[in-house]
Amino acid sequence: MTFKSDYSYVNGLKMYYEINGEGKPLVLIHGGGSTIQTTFGRIIPLLAQYRKLIAVELQAH
């Protein structure tokens, strides 16, 4: 399983993201007041076996 994390500048904001797995992409966006890990931490390893997960950390979370 592949894993990458980095920051990307979007409209002047420094946004954190993670990419896990390989295959057809699936974008994960967490809910308000949450994070990638609190929302998807338990299912990322399972989903990454079948899909390329792109998880975006929303601003101020």
> What pLDDT, in 10s, does the model give residues 5-43?
999 999 999 999 999 999 999 999 998 889 999 999 999
What would the mean pLDDT of 39-48 be, rounded to a whole number? 96
Domain boundaries, the chain: 3-56
d(CA 40, CA 37): 5
DSSP letters spanning 5-27? EEEEEETTEEEEEEEES-SSEEE
Enter the pTM of the model.
Answer: 0.85
Position 56 scores a pLDDT of 95
